[in-house]
Structure 1
Amino acid sequence: MCGRYSLSKSKIELEERFQAEMLGDFNPRFNIAPTQLLPVLTSESPKGFSFFYWGITPDFAKNKPVSQKFINARSESINQKISFKSSFEKRRCLIPADGFFEWKKVGKKTKTPYRFTLSDEGLFAFAGIWEEFENDKGESNHTFLILTTEANGIVKDVHDRMPVILKKEDEKKWLDPYTTEEELIDMLIPYQAIEMITYSVSPLVNQVNNDTASVLKKTSPMDQFGNYTLFG
């Protein structure tokens, strides 16, 4: 599962990395959580950033509360499940990020947060799908979710799943409507562990409202154990 990620780069860095235009301002995000409005690149508009809500309500579950929405989908069955098959075929997206968080169990009630990112700590893209649905007021909303796969060697010590990080050369193909299903499935694999790094961070990340650069700083696990009860 991927329930938090970061996008701490500037608007200019995002536009340069993905060769797409972003209308309006963008403030770097350090502790992104589900239900928030976030930038994506879609198969319908690959040259311009759109802002969608993180958390899809599939066709069979429209108008459900936020708590019942999906935020991830298993890549191994994405082309088979009725709830996601149409989105996988027609509505794929890139989700810009520069890191994600997972929590390692270290006791019955204690978990230590870790950040995972590329070795150069640069921008990358999660593989995603998006959907449009009506809320209780009849308003149209666009939402997305992140595809996950089995954990690679660096993530599996903390969690058994990880988000699908696309290779840079696969990003355009992921959005291309003419890419075959077989080619798409071949992209949904664990990212190479040798190209990633991880480190423990402060339990401040546990609280969604702590959306500041401090949550990205390396913090020793020993310090975390001492402070955990203050923030958990």
Structure 2
Amino acid sequence: MCYSTALRKKKEQIEQSLLANFDADFEIPLEYLPYYHLNGFTHGNLYIIKMDEPEKIYPASWGLVPNWALHNPEGFRKKSNTLNARAENVFERNSYKDIAEDKRCLILSDGFFEPHHENGVSIPHFCYQPSKEYPEGDLFLFAGLYNELDDELYTATIITVGANAFFAEVHNKRKRMPLVLADDLFEDWLDDGMNQPQLNELMAYGFTSQDFKAHPVTREIYKKGIDTNTPRFIAPVDKGTLF
């Protein structure tokens, strides 16, 4: 599962990082603000690239609202958690099956948080993909689904899969991870010609081969009523990098 993410880069850095694969610009540039910690349960904005407009980056409220719940999004979200969609049943669940074939998206991120359990205590870990240019975490793209909430207002969910060896050590209880796509599969994920078997295979084997790192961060991130959108909440605690 993935219920908290980060996107710390400036708009210009994001657009530059995407150039190898997309000439994509923010459709509403003045709305974008970088963030260190976005709690999915606040339904704040993720930033997505849609199948039908790969040249644009749109904000999308985190927590997908399916077509049959559009008349009452708030009521739906009180009863249903659609922050994540399990790859194994995405074509079966009522919330996703009608859109999985034609409303896929890529979701921008440069970090996310996963719980690691020790002696019954949940220790949040910040997970990121270092590079030479961005040792603190490069841009990567989750596989996701989206739906229209209204005219140019979108909602989205992040696809999750069974954890690989690294993330099974980090997320050692549920052993899940968000599907961070390999760069050479971005276009395939957005391709409207992909059928269900092809998409299932992509989700099963499409996780990036780029290395991730993870370190423990303060458990204050779990507290309510405090501002967690600051650099302090991605900083390593004294325990240091475990994995």
TM-score range for the pair, normalised by the shorter chain length: 0.7 to 0.9
Q: What is the count of residue pairs matched by the alignment? A: 217
Deviations 1:47-95 (A, max 9, x none): 1111110001234444225333411111011123333122111100100
| Contact in 2 for aligned 1:152/1:192 (Cα 8 Å) | no
Aligned to 1:3: 3
Query: CA 1:174–1:99 in structure 2 vs 1: closer, same or farther (change >3 Å)?
Result: same
Aligned to 2:122: 111
Query: CA 1:3–1:47 in structure 2 vs 1: closer, same or farther (change >3 Å)?
Result: same
Select the residue among 67, 76, 94 that pairs with 2:78. 67
Q: CA offset at residue 141 of structure 1? A: 4.5
Aligned to 1:177: 192
Q: CA offset at residue 131 of structure 1? A: 1.2
CA distance, structure 2, for counterparts of residue 32 and residue 168 of structure 1: 24
Matched, 1:46 2:61: no
Matched, 1:217 2:235: yes
Aligned to 1:24: 29
CA distance, structure 1, for counterparts of residue 166 and residue 46 of structure 2: 27
| Contact in 1 for aligned 2:49/2:55 (Cα 8 Å) | yes
Aligned to 1:158: 170
Aligned to 2:134: none
CA distance, structure 1, for counterparts of residue 87 and residue 188 of structure 2: 16
Supply the RMSD in Å over aligned alpha carbons: 2.3
| Contact in 2 for aligned 1:152/1:193 (Cα 8 Å) | no
Matched, 1:127 2:132: no
Select the residue among 155, 158, 163 that pairs with 1:146. 158
- Gap runs ≥5 in structure 1: 223-232
CA distance, structure 2, for counterparts of residue 106 and residue 200 of structure 1: 12
The normalised TM-score by structure 2 is 0.80
| Contact in 1 for aligned 2:129/2:210 (Cα 8 Å) | no
Matched, 1:188 2:203: yes
Deviations 1:140-179 (A, max 9, x none): 8420000100011111123211100100111122112123
CA distance, structure 1, for counterparts of residue 229 and residue 53 of structure 2: 28
- Gap runs ≥5 in structure 2: 132-136
CA distance, structure 1, for counterparts of residue 209 and residue 218 of structure 2: 23
Q: CA offset at residue 189 of structure 1? A: 3.2
Query: CA 1:188–1:180 in structure 2 vs 1: closer, same or farther (change >3 Å)?
Result: same
Q: CA offset at residue 194 of structure 1? A: 6.7
Q: CA offset at residue 192 of structure 1? A: 5.4
Question: Secondary structure of the residue that 1:82 maps to in structure 2?
Answer: coil
The normalised TM-score by structure 1 is 0.84
Which one-letter code corresponds to 1:6 in the other structure? A
| Contact in 2 for aligned 1:91/1:131 (Cα 8 Å) | yes
Aligned to 2:213: 197
Deviations 1:11-55 (A, max 9, x none): 111112223111323321110122002211111211111111000
Query: CA 1:7–1:149 in structure 2 vs 1: closer, same or farther (change >3 Å)?
Result: same
